[in-house]
Amino acid sequence: MKSKAAIFTEIGKPLIVDEIEVDDPGPTECLVKLDATGLCHTEIWYMGGGDSVDYAAMSPRVLGHEGGGVVVKAGSQVTSLKEGDHVVPLYISECGTCVECRSPETNLCSYLDDKGYYEGVMPDGKPRFHWHGQDVKHFMGTSTFSQYTVVPEVALAKIREDAPLDRVCLLGCAITTGVGAVLWTAKVQPGASVAVFGCGPIGLNVVQGARIAGAGKIIAVDLKPERLQMAKELGATHLINAKEHGGTGTGAVKELTGGGADFSFEATGNTAVMRQAFESVRYGGGKCVLIGVARTGEEVSLTPRMLIAGRVLTGTAFGGCKGRSQLPELVDYYMDGSLKIDEMVTKEIGLEQINEAFEWMKQDQGYRYIVKY
Amino acid sequence: MKSKAAIFTEIGKPLIVDEIEVDDPGPTECLVKLDATGLCHTEIWYMGGGDSVDYAAMSPRVLGHEGGGVVVKAGSQVTSLKEGDHVVPLYISECGTCVECRSPETNLCSYLDDKGYYEGVMPDGKPRFHWHGQDVKHFMGTSTFSQYTVVPEVALAKIREDAPLDRVCLLGCAITTGVGAVLWTAKVQPGASVAVFGCGPIGLNVVQGARIAGAGKIIAVDLKPERLQMAKELGATHLINAKEHGGTGTGAVKELTGGGADFSFEATGNTAVMRQAFESVRYGGGKCVLIGVARTGEEVSLTPRMLIAGRVLTGTAFGGCKGRSQLPELVDYYMDGSLKIDEMVTKEIGLEQINEAFEWMKQDQGYRYIVKY
Model pLDDT for residues B346-368, shown as the tens digit of each residue: 999 999 999 999 999 999 888 89
Average pLDDT over residues B26-35: 98
Across the interface, whether the CB atoms of B305 and A299 are under 8 A apart is answered no
* Cα(A315)–Cα(B304) distance, integer angstroms: 8
Taking the CA of residue A355 and the nearest CA in chain B, the distance in Å comes to 28
**How far does A297 lie from chain B, in Å, by closest CA?**
8
Per the rule left: phi > 0, alpha: psi between -120 and 50, beta: everything else, B47 is alpha
Tell me, what's the pLDDT at A294?
86
Q: What is the pLDDT of residues B238-261, one digit of tens each?
A: 999 999 999 999 999 999 999 999
For A132, counting Cβ atoms within 10 Å of its Cβ (0-12 exposed, 13-18 middle, 19+ buried), the class is exposed
Shortest CA distance from A258: residue in chain B: B99
Asked whether the beta carbons of residue A293 and residue B316 sit closer than 8 angstroms, the reply is: no
Q: In the prediction, which pLDDT does A102 show? A: 94
Q: Contact B358/B47 with Cβ under 8 angstroms? A: yes
Q: Per-residue pLDDT tens for B50-106?
A: 888 999 999 999 999 999 999 999 999 999 999 999 999 999 999 999 999 999 999
Count of A-B CB contacts under 8 Å: 124
Tens digits of residue pLDDT in A114-172: 899 999 999 999 999 999 999 999 999 999 999 999 999 999 999 999 999 999 999 99
Q: What is the pLDDT of residue A296?
A: 81
Which pLDDT score, from 0 to 100, does residue B297 have? 87
A285 Cα to chain B: minimum distance (Å): 6
Question: Which chain A residues are within 8 Å of B302, Cβ to Cβ?
Answer: 299-302
Of the candidates A126, A118, A292, A167, the residue with the CA atom closest to the CA atom of residue A222? A292
C-alpha A249/C-alpha A251 separation (Å) is 6
Asked whether the beta carbons of B305 and A317 are under 8 A apart, the reply is: no
What is the per-residue DSSP string for B251-310? HHHHHHTTS-BSEEEE-S--HHHHHHHHHTBPTTT-EEEE-SPPPTT--EEE-HHHHHTT
Binary contact (A315, B315; C-beta < 8 A): no
Strands A312-315 and A287-290: parallel
Phi and psi torsions of A241, nearest 5°? -90, 110
Q: What is the pLDDT of residues B282-294, one digit of tens each?
A: 999 999 999 998 8
**Distance from A272 to chain B by nearest Cα, in Å?**
11
Taking 90 as the threshold, does the pLDDT of residue A366 lie above it? no
- Confidence label for A51 from pLDDT (cuts 50, 70 and 90): confident
Q: Using the beta-carbon criterion (under 8 Å), do B317 and A298 form an inter-chain contact?
A: no
Neighboring chain B residues of A308 at a CB cutoff of 8 Å: 290-291, 293, 315-317
- Helical segments of chain A, H only: 41-47, 99-102, 165-168, 174-180, 201-213, 225-234, 250-256, 271-279, 304-308, 323-335, 354-362
Domains with residue ranges and CATH for chain A: 2-172+341-372 (3.90.180.10), 178-317 (3.40.50.720)
Nearest chain B CA: its distance from A102 CA (Å): 11
> Residue A313: which of B100, B307, B310 has the nearest Cβ?
B307
**DSSP structure class, residue A115:** I
Task: Using CB atoms within 10 Å of the CB of residue B2, give its burial: 0 to 12 exposed, 13 to 18 middle, 19+ buried.
Answer: exposed
Write down the pLDDT at residue B296: 81
Instruction: Give me the pLDDT at residue B2, please.
Output: 98
The one-letter code for the residue type at B134 is Q
Nearest to A307 among B110, B284, B313 (CB): B313
The runs of H, that is alpha helices, within B105-200 are 165-168, 174-180
Peptide bond into B89 cis (omega under 30): no
ipTM: 0.91
Can you tell me whether residue B186 is helix, strand or coil?
A: helix
Judged by CB atoms closer than 8 Å, whether chains meet at B290 and A304 is answered as: yes
Chain A residues inside the 8 Å CB shell of B316 = 308, 310
CB pair distance less than 8 Å for A314 and B307: yes
Residue B364, pLDDT score: 86
**pLDDT at residue A293 tops 90:** no
Per-residue pLDDT of A208-224, as tens digits, reads 999 999 999 999 999 99
Are the C-beta atoms of residues A137 and A61 closer than 8 Å to each other?
yes
Rounded mean pLDDT, A254-273: 96
pLDDT mean across residues, chain B: 96
